[in-house]
Chains A and B, each alone.
Chain A
Amino acid sequence: MTATAPRATRVRPRGPRIARAMKPLVFAVLLAPAIWLAYALFADQLDGDVVKILEISTGTLALRSLAYTLAISPLKQLTGWTWLNMYRRMLGLFVFFYATAHMLIYFGLDLELQFGEIWTSILKRPYITIGMLSWLILVPLAITSPNFMARKLGGPRWKRLHQLTYVVAVTATTHYLWAVKKDTFWPLVYFALFAALLLVRAYGWYGLHRRAANAAV
């Protein structure tokens, strides 16, 4: 390219370009813990109660991904960085990925696919019931994540369906709270975090409705 080449006439903001370029990196960062856990499992690097460590790690990773997902909208409002939207689906799918790994480790390695035990645990142990429920809610969200599915459903319906994410924030944190023995510090941290993220939205909706109402007058 020579110095005389004409500069682009449209001023393209740099944010989206960088965001798109960074996508593989963000993906790698989010996937790295899974690769480390798999390696550590087979290289005997998990000191202690191996399966419990896997369960706690994947569960925490799912919750963390959920927090990132829910943080995007408020962050976008705060900063005006609309390109943050580009990461939303990937983050959401990571929630599903870690939640699925978490569930499969519990049923497959912890309960060793003993179907009697799996069934009892879902029916008898409230923290498993609500954990299972959380995963089930995530399934249609993951299925409808591709663009063509969103188009098929239509914007408003797709949006309403994906608002189930807020429900998962509550059920998944309740699952965590009921699962811990005594120290409820971290479950409560997640509760506070999700409550804050949902309140920001509620405030936004309230503002919109008020403006709409005022405009109608």
Chain B
Amino acid sequence: MLIRKRIEPPSSEITPEAEYLNRREFLGMVGSIGALSATGAVAEGLMGGFSTVEAQQGDKVTDESKVTSYNNYYEFGTDKEDPKANSQQFKARPWSVKIEGLCRKPGSMPLDSFLSPSRIEDRTYRFRCVEAWSAVIPWRGIPLADVIRRADPLPSAKYVELTTLYDPSQMSGQRRATIQWPYTEGLRIDEALNPLAFLATGMYGKTLPNQNGAPLRLVVPWKYGFKNIKAIVKLKFTDQQPTSTWMKAASDEYGFYANVNPAVDHPRWSQARERRLGEVLRKPTLMFNGYSEQVASMYGGMDLRRNY
């Protein structure tokens, strides 16, 4: 009834490079329209544009209600329904972000000053959780590279470590020692400077809901979801590879890179395929979540089986 044989997409359906370049131009254009106006019509335009350029992969934007009611955010509880249920009282404003470590412009600043030099953009990305569920989400925010450049890192800075707010009075999940608090994540500087790396302050044309990481979260679409750290309060430049929260929790299951890779299984399940939120049948997972053209060169010569 629901089960039928999966049909492999023929190679003719893989986006040719010229078209892919067009797509980036197109998305950039749509993004700038989005920056000028925040009306629903524009959001619709973005989705329409998205479906025409991405139709080859059968991608369509996931229902907003699914993305806002089913996710992992251990700060508000470990069940998928907990973030929405337990984050409604969370105060995402006022908010300040601290920049520290190996850079010329450290300091703490209110979120608005942190964001304001950059142009707000809309980006629709695939999102792939390490647990093999996935979504397509229209984000709104600024390129992470802008923030990195403004901080002016020293040549010795090789990594950037990001930290989530620690406030058990507001984040009830932090009252239990499920994982080590506060949550931290890290990127190599070149990864942080990659044009795809994004800091989201909104999604679906609206302000980011508390349960999805308000007021500021990372979006690195070629990596598994847990790299996309939420409620960011700190960026720190380091010369040593940071140890992320999930590496501390289970280093045999979660590595520093956590690049989406259908060929490297999680010890407890296959990563070859994924299931879109709300859908029953799975689809193949793409290398680097379909962003190979933009990111694969950063990992040339690396054994991705060891650097999972």
Interface residues of A (CB under 8 A from B): 41, 44, 46-52, 108-109, 112-113, 117, 120-121, 125, 127, 178-179, 181-183, 185
Contacts and interface: CB of A to CB of B under 8 A. Distances in A.
B212 to A, nearest CB: 13
A117 B278 CA distance: 23
B22 interface: no
Contact of A50 (B178, B249, B250, B279): B279
- Residue among B6, B278, B280 with the most chain A CB within 10 A? B280
A112 B268 contact: no
Contacts of B295: none
A49 B3 contact: no
Nearest to B63: A47
A47 B65 contact: yes
Contact of A179 (B6, B267, B268, B281): B268
B169 to A, nearest CB: 21
A44 B66 CA distance: 11
A41 to B, nearest CB: 8
Contacts, number: 62
B277 A125 contact: no
Given A51-B280, A117-B270, 11 more contacts: A47-B69, A47-B70, A48-B66, A49-B131, A50-B279, A52-B133, A109-B280, A112-B282, A121-B270, A182-B249, A182-B250
Given A49-B80, A50-B278, A125 B269 contact: yes
Contact of A49 (B6, B65, B133, B179): B133
Contacts of B280: 41, 50-51, 109
Interface in B177-225: 178-179
16 contacts: A46-B278, A47-B69, A48-B277, A49-B277, A52-B131, A52-B133, A109-B2, A109-B3, A112-B3, A112-B6, A113-B3, A125-B269, A127-B268, A179-B268, A182-B74, A182-B179
Contacts of A185: 78
B275 interface: yes
A178 B239 CA distance: 36
Contacts of B131: 49, 52, 181
Contacts of B270: 117, 120-121
Contacts of A183: 74, 78, 178
The 5 tightest CB contacts between A and B, nearest first, are: A48-B70, A183-B78, A49-B133, A47-B69, A183-B178
Interface of B: 2-3, 6, 65-66, 69-70, 74, 78, 80, 131, 133, 178-179, 249-250, 267-270, 275, 277-282
Contacts of A46: 278
A118 B29 CA distance: 46
A121 B70 CA distance: 26
A108 to B, nearest CB: 6
Nearest to B269: A125
A173 to B, nearest CB: 17
Contacts of A179: 268
B178 A182 contact: yes
Nearest to A180: B78
Nearest to A181: B131
A67 B78 CA distance: 23
Contact of A112 (B65, B78, B249, B281): B281
Contacts of B65: 47
B183 to A, nearest CB: 12
A48 B78 contact: no
Given A112-B281, A125-B268, A182-B178, A48 B133 contact: yes
Contacts of B281: 112
A178 B268 CA distance: 9
Contacts of A117: 270
B5 to A, nearest CB: 9
Given A112-B6, A183-B78, A48 B278 contact: yes
Given A52-B133, A109-B2, A112-B6, A44 B268 contact: no
Nearest to B249: A182
- Residue among A50, A109, A178 with the most chain B CB within 10 A? A50
B278 A182 contact: no
Contacts of A125: 267-269
A44 B96 CA distance: 40
A178 B253 CA distance: 13
A185 B2 CA distance: 34
A135 B221 CA distance: 39
A125 B269 CA distance: 8
B305 to A, nearest CB: 16
B56 to A, nearest CB: 22
